[in-house]
Copies of this chain bind each other. A is one copy, B any other.
Amino acid sequence: MGNSFGKIFTITTFGESHGPAIGLVIDGCLPNIEVDFDLIKKDLQRRKPGQSNISTPRNESEEFEILSGVFEGKTLGTPISIIVRNKDVKSSDYNTLKDIFRPSHADYTYQTKYGIRDHRGGGRQSARETVARVIAGSFAKMILKKLGVKIQAYVSQVHSIKVSKPYFLLDLDATENNIVRCPEPETAALMEQAILQAKADGDSLGGVISCVISGAPLGLGEPVFDKIHADLGKAMLSINAVKGFDIGLGFDSVLLKGSEQNDSFTLENNSVRTKTNNSGGVQGGISNGEDIYFRVAFKPVASIKSEQESVTNSLKEVKFSIEGRHDSCVVPRAIPIVEAMAALVLVDHYLRNAAVKVQPFA
């Protein structure tokens, strides 16, 4: 249970890190969408390990194969299934860790829940699963593109280093210009330096990803439980290592008074707009046509080279180090994952809203 996401545009992911393949099924994709293979490749490339000196040197395969749902380059409206074979698999790396519950990993919780686990590379708990999410997200983006919706995520914080400005003062198109994926070049440089230092120390850093959705249609979100930001929150919190989510001013809105926080309505070319956008484009759980923006907090990577204490399967206390090839900071590579999950939520709610705006009733 729990491996599917979305109510109409529904994805199901599968696969263990060191098993034969990672994959996904998309059920509910619109028919007749031209598949943008370059977009999929580009998004996978942005998630790929080994893309820079601040990411793990693991050379994971990202070659995907479409098994169904696409015919002569277009979606059929039937389930789209795609797999990515696991290739550069050094399972032996993990043999020494086979019996150890790695701290702040899910070895212990998987073992106690299921009574069995694939210990190799984390098995199902591995972030390799996000390959499937990124591919699904690319399909969602193909639909959003036609709707004029743009999703741009960027690294806004690494450890204690933060961007200096709100999103609307940044040049988000500059995000991909550096390996940290921070649109402020000088801040990016400091972040890179901090990550390299952590790497040298055998340690790891966390960070915050900010994400901006512009051009989102009015009316997305289903009160009362499936508010658009509740589903965005769940989507983000389901990503490995994420520990927090807020939308609009989020936790900072607590520091404002109602008179400061409220977004007054005004008319702009005869259409209703808000003067400010402290709400982050959502009111009552429904998108209001303004930019949707939110933050996602990632804890530091749990796999570190420094010696740690833990317990084994057979309940013995041990000291050990993790020798595998790991990121010292995962947030630059998590950018396409955040975008993908956002895209999935948007498309799903777009299709759900179609059942409210259905012809000939709307």
Known: A67-B21, A109-B284, A198-B257. Is A310-B243 also a contact (CB below 8 A)?
A: no
Complex contacts, A14 vs chain B, CB 8 Å? 25, 27, 67-69, 78-81
- Extra contacts, 5 of them, besides A21-B81, A109-B284 (Cβ < 8 A), are A23-B67, A108-B272, A115-B362, A159-B254, A250-B297
A302 contacts the other chain (Cβ, under 8 Å)? yes
Known: A23-B68, A113-B218. Is A279-B104 also a contact (CB below 8 A)?
A: yes
> Which residues 195-239 in A have Cβ within 8 Å of B in the complex?
198, 201, 203-208, 218-219, 221-227, 229-231, 233-235, 237-238
Q: Mark A95-137, 1 if CB is under 8 A from B, else 0.
A: 0000001011110111011111110000111000100000000
Complex contacts, A106 vs chain B, CB 8 Å? 223, 283-286
Cβ-defined contact, A356 with B67, below 8 A: no
Distance, CA A229 to CA B241, complexed state (A): 11
Complex contacts, A218 vs chain B, CB 8 Å? 109, 112-113
Cβ-defined contact, A124 with B78, below 8 A: yes
Cβ-defined contact, B361 with A3, below 8 A: no
Distance, CA A311 to CA B267, complexed state (A): 7
Cβ-defined contact, A229 with B237, below 8 A: yes
Q: Which 9 A-B pairs have the closest CB atoms?
A: A106-B284, A2-B222, A244-B246, A204-B258, A2-B226, A109-B286, A234-B234, A14-B79, A77-B114
A264 contacts the other chain (Cβ, under 8 Å)? yes
Cβ-defined contact, B101 with A265, below 8 A: yes
Cβ-defined contact, B297 with A259, below 8 A: no
Cβ-defined contact, A76 with B116, below 8 A: yes
Distance, CA A203 to CA B23, complexed state (A): 42
Known: A3-B225, A79-B14, A243-B280. Is A258-B351 also a contact (CB below 8 A)?
A: no
Q: Which of A71, A201, A243, A355 has the most CB of B within 10 A?
A: A243
Known: A247-B244, A262-B103, A280-B243. Is A16-B224 also a contact (CB below 8 A)?
A: no
> Which residues 314-350 in A have Cβ within 8 Å of B in the complex?
315, 317, 350
Distance, CA A113 to CA B237, complexed state (A): 27
Complex contacts, A315 vs chain B, CB 8 Å? 267, 270, 272
A185 contacts the other chain (Cβ, under 8 Å)? no
Nearest B-chain residue to A218, judged by Cβ:
B112
A249 contacts the other chain (Cβ, under 8 Å)? yes
Cβ-defined contact, A124 with B76, below 8 A: yes
Q: Looking at the assembled complex, report how far the CB atom of A356 sits from the nearest CB atom of chain B, in whole angstroms.
A: 6
Known: A108-B265, A203-B259. Is A224-B27 also a contact (CB below 8 A)?
A: no
> Which residues 138-152 in A have Cβ within 8 Å of B in the complex?
143, 146-147
Cβ-defined contact, A249 with B243, below 8 A: yes
Cβ-defined contact, A304 with B259, below 8 A: yes
Cβ-defined contact, A297 with B254, below 8 A: yes
Distance, CA A278 to CA B297, complexed state (A): 14
Complex contacts, A19 vs chain B, CB 8 Å? 67-68, 71
Complex contacts, A13 vs chain B, CB 8 Å? 79, 224
Distance, CA A234 to CA B226, complexed state (A): 8
Distance, CA A117 to CA B32, complexed state (A): 9
Q: Looking at the assembled complex, report how far the CB atom of A5 sits from the nearest CB atom of chain B, in whole angstroms.
A: 4
> Which residues 262-299 in A have Cβ within 8 Å of B in the complex?
262-267, 270, 272, 274-275, 278-280, 282-288, 295, 297-299
